[in-house]
Structure 1
Amino acid sequence: MTDPRFDELIHAPTRLGIVAQLAAADWVVFKFLRDSLNLSDSALSKQLTTLNEAGYVEIHKALAGKRPRTTVRLTPAGRAAFEGHVAALEDIVARSRSSLRPEPSPSDAS
């Protein structure tokens, strides 16, 4: 069981989308992330740099033939942060749902 821990860095919508995509795979190709999240190269690069500086992602650059190929993956710290963040969000939703249940009226107690 993952300890719930809200993570402000991951919570930003673009970074949350990136980390969610990365959580579903081992290595993910930059172009796939860019296209699936509908981001520009520069916007994705900026967000990946932020996640990399936090120690949440690892970025690997290589050549595929004559073309550069960038792949990205979550580090163990990034995976733990994402899982903790998701657990915290699930707790928030569960508390919200339980508070929306109507309280029994005194006539229901009979």
Structure 2
Amino acid sequence: MTELDPLIHAPARLRIMSLLAAVEEADFAFLRDETAVSDSVMSKHATALETAGYVVIRKGHVGKRPRTWLKLSPKGRQAYKDHITALQDIVARSGMSLTPDQPHPRPQAGEVRNRQPADRHPASPRSTG
């Protein structure tokens, strides 16, 4: 069974990773606003994810204004997929699913079920458009 990643599991970081999994890259301000955190909190999360090798941070300018963009690294994308797989495994034990249209039969006590690999689950975006 895949384990939850404690670095990703924090709610704001999970939101950041989820947002980044759906796009090629995202502006710092967009991520800050979507996660509803302050600049300093967003900066700390971004730095922690960058230190782990999960995100790549790019700095530049739009006109004369400085901007910061983040994107998932290949390592970060795999860590996110693994984390989602672990969440799916936990939820599936209750007979429920993270996707309502895909109920999982509830395993019997002591029964172990094989799960789909993370890269085949619809909640893990394949394309980054």
- Give the SS at the match of 1:80: helix
Contact 1:5 1:81 in 2 (8 A): no
How many Å apart are 1:5 and its aligned residue? 3.6
Q: CA RMSD in A?
A: 1.5
Pick the structure with more helix per residue.
Answer: 1
Aligned equivalents of 2:37, 2:66: Cα separation in 1: 19
Counterpart Cα distance in 2 of 1:34 and 1:40: 7
Kindly name which structure, 1 or 2, has the bigger radius of gyration based on alpha carbons.
1
Q: Distance in 2 between matches of 1:58 and 1:5?
A: 24
C-alpha separation in 2, matches of 1:67 and 1:17: 26
What is the alpha-carbon distance in structure 2 between the residues aligned to residue 15 and residue 71 of structure 1? 15
User: Please, which runs of 5 or more residues in structure 2 have no aligned partner?
Assistant: 96-105, 109-129
Structure 1 unaligned residues grouped into runs of 5+: 101-110
2:94 equivalent among 93, 96, 99 = 96
Higher relative contact order (CA 8 A, sep 6+): 1
- In structure 2, distance between residues paired with 1:78 and 1:15: 12
Q: 18, 23, 27: which is aligned to 2:21?
A: 23
Alignment TM-score, normalising by the size of structure 2: 0.72
The runs of at least 4 consecutive aligned structure 1 residues that moved more than 6 Å come to: none
Letter in 1 for 2:49: L
1:38-69 CA-partner distances (Å, limit 9, x unpaired): 11111000000000000000000001110001
